[in-house]
Amino acid sequence: MYDAIVIGAGPAGLQAALTLGRMHRSTLLLDSGQYRNGTVLHMHNVVANDGTPPAEFRATARTQLAEYADIGIRDVGAQTVTPTDAGFTVLLADGETAETRHVILATGVADDLPPVPGLQELWGVKAFSCPFCDGHEHAGRSIAILGPAPRAEHLIGLLGRIVSDIIVFPVEQAFSPEEAQTLEGLGARVSAEIVTAVAPDADGVRISTESGEQSVAGVFVASGSLRHRAPFADQLGLHLLSSGSIEIDDFGRTSLPGVFAAGDLAHRASLPGPMASVLLAAAAGQLAAVGVIQSLMAP
């Protein structure tokens, strides 16, 4: 019987395991190898790791975790989490089961991109969504934003002072005259035609529309949606917020005692949505681990 099984080994799960291991709490860390920033070559806005490849960040963390006798790591997915009298049974993809007193869900989210041919291949390399993570790398260059209008307005507000030129392309449906006017009023150029494809070119990205092509240094995606990577919130009937994320309290507790959550799949009700970043995921992982330790120490 483990004190905790941490499902997910991105920044949230890695940090949760580190905190538990340092406090000599028996911990199993599970990883199915599907990271949100899995295609990203260099992460940014991570102090002391600005520009570090995420794969290197994870490898360093794994090497450091291996020093702690109480942490076991397995590269296997979890399939189900079932409450028991003593805690939880976790069924692994290889058919084995593991028993635990607590579970920390750190399985993250996946990005469902708009249906633009070529976009998936550029994701994390030349196509992004987070100005804090990837805006500065486009300083003084031209970028494209792929609609829709409200989110595009937000991206223009954040990126306008960094890049030299922004052209906004509608996806699937053209902008209304009012939307185009608003976007132009913010200083962007607006394409009347929807984007039909994107592809890498020598210096950035080639954007195609019905009548032609143009090149930009990079693309920011204003549409798309987030999906839970794993089914455990549904399986366990956890309370979700209107954002679709798992509701947690300050110490990562979910609505089900013994189940904690950390990282991109969860946030407190006081926030509008998940504050998706490497450092905030790691911080949430540490808080959840502290929550588990509090629970283990409770009389």
Ligand X SMILES: Cc1cc2nc3c(=O)[nH]c(=O)nc-3n(C[C@H](O)[C@H](O)[C@H](O)COP(=O)(O)OP(=O)(O)OC[C@H]3O[C@@H](n4cnc5c(N)ncnc54)[C@H](O)[C@@H]3O)c2cc1C
Q: Which residues are at the interface with ligand X (CB under 6 A)?
A: 7-13, 30-37, 40, 43-46, 77-78, 106-108, 111, 123-124, 128, 130, 133, 229-230, 263-264, 276-279, 281
CB 29, min distance to ligand X, A: 9
CB 212, min distance to ligand X, A: 28
Give the residue with the Cβ less far from ligand X, 2 or 175: 2
CB 211, min distance to ligand X, A: 30
Give the residue with the Cβ less far from ligand X, 15 or 182: 15
Give the residue with the Cβ less far from ligand X, 183 or 281: 281
**Phi and psi based region of residue 100 (left: phi greater than 0; alpha: psi -120 to 50; beta: remaining):** beta
CB 289, min distance to ligand X, A: 13
CB 174, min distance to ligand X, A: 27
Give the residue with the Cβ less far from ligand X, 175 or 260: 260
Q: Report cis status (omega within 30 of 0) of the bond before 148.
A: yes
Give the residue with the Cβ less far from ligand X, 166 or 288: 288
